[in-house]
Amino acid sequence: MYDADHEARGWRFYIQDMIEFSQKVLSYTDGLDQDAFITDGLTYDATLRNLELIGEAATHIPSEVREAHPQIQWRSIIGTRNRVAHGYLGIDDDVIWDIIQTDIPNLLPALRNLLDTTSEDSK
């Protein structure tokens, strides 16, 4: 039997994961400049892994939800995951740093808002 409420809760867990992974990215890189980030292998690898996980979680968000929330750059998030996971043409450290400094801080409030909005809608 189809349970729409269960399905909605399911994708919201992926949004929660995206928030958690984004917070880790910011935590790991807090206080670092780009050079320090690049030369700290453990931080670099852990950050890339969490960027990959953000994108993987995004792939589990239903297309209806993605379409209803175009302020979140779903395609870019998933594309970043693919480039990091598969190493397409290498990884551009400048792009990664820009994602850390700009995209993730902008993504977090959008994800929280989506989670809050959908939680309210399901009541």
Q: Which domains, from first to last, does the chain contain?
A: 4-116 (1.20.120)
Of 5-14, 36-45, 94-103, minimum mean pLDDT range = 5-14
Q: Active site residue: 12, 66, 83, 86, which one? A: 86
Q: Active site residue: 6, 12, 81, 112, which one? A: 81
Mean pLDDT of all residues in 24-51: 98
pLDDT at 89 exceeding the cut of 90: no
User: 89 vs 6, 18, 82, 86, CA distance in Å?
Assistant: 40, 25, 11, 9
Question: Among this protein's residues, is 81 annotated catalytic?
Answer: yes
Q: What tokens were used for 21?
A: 């992974």
Question: Among this protein's residues, is 86 annotated catalytic?
Answer: yes
Entry pTM: 0.88
